[in-house]
Amino acid sequence: MKDMLKYKDFIVSVHFTGDDEIFYGKIEGINDLVSFEGGSVKALLSSFKEAVDDYLHLCTSHKKPIYKSYKGSFNVRISPALHRKAIEKALSLGIPLNQLVQKAIEREVSTNN
């Protein structure tokens, strides 16, 4: 995983600012903005875990959903040539394009865990 950390099923994006010499990140996949920082990798990891634990406590105490909800549908922009190839592949398999895309995504995410 590039520039990402994981703790208790939370994924965060991590960045570095050279001007301030600070690592910083934010929790992804939630409805709130929760960020953290540290002057070293060790400090960043500690701050990250503390931010996740604090967020979990806040959600639990306020009875609010922890994770962002997803509809299960999204738009994907691809080249017309790739779109045509995908339609042809779906037709040759006798399945709808949505099913072809779903299978491709399932295959991709299961091989990268």
Residue 100 makes CB contacts below 8 A (sequence gap 6+) with 86, 89, 90, 93
**pLDDT mean over 5-29:** 88
pLDDT for the residue 19: 87
Binned at pLDDT 50, 70 and 90, residue 112 comes out as low
Each residue's pLDDT tens digit, 59-86: 999 999 999 888 888 898 999 999 999 9
- Say if residue 1's pLDDT is above 80: no
- Concatenated DSSP letters of the chain: -TTEEEETTEEEEEEEETTTTEEEEEEESSSS--EEEESSHHHHHHHHHHHHHHHHHHHHHTT--SSPP--S-------HHHHHHHHHHHHHHTS-HHHHHHHHHHHHHHH--
Binned at pLDDT 50, 70 and 90, residue 96 comes out as very high
pLDDT for the residue 2: 67
Each residue's pLDDT tens digit, 26-54: 999 999 999 999 998 899 999 999 999 99
Domain ranges of the chain: 4-61, 80-111
- What is the pTM assigned to this prediction? 0.68
**How high does pLDDT run on average in the chain?**
90
Beta-strand relationship, 4-7 and 35-38: unpaired
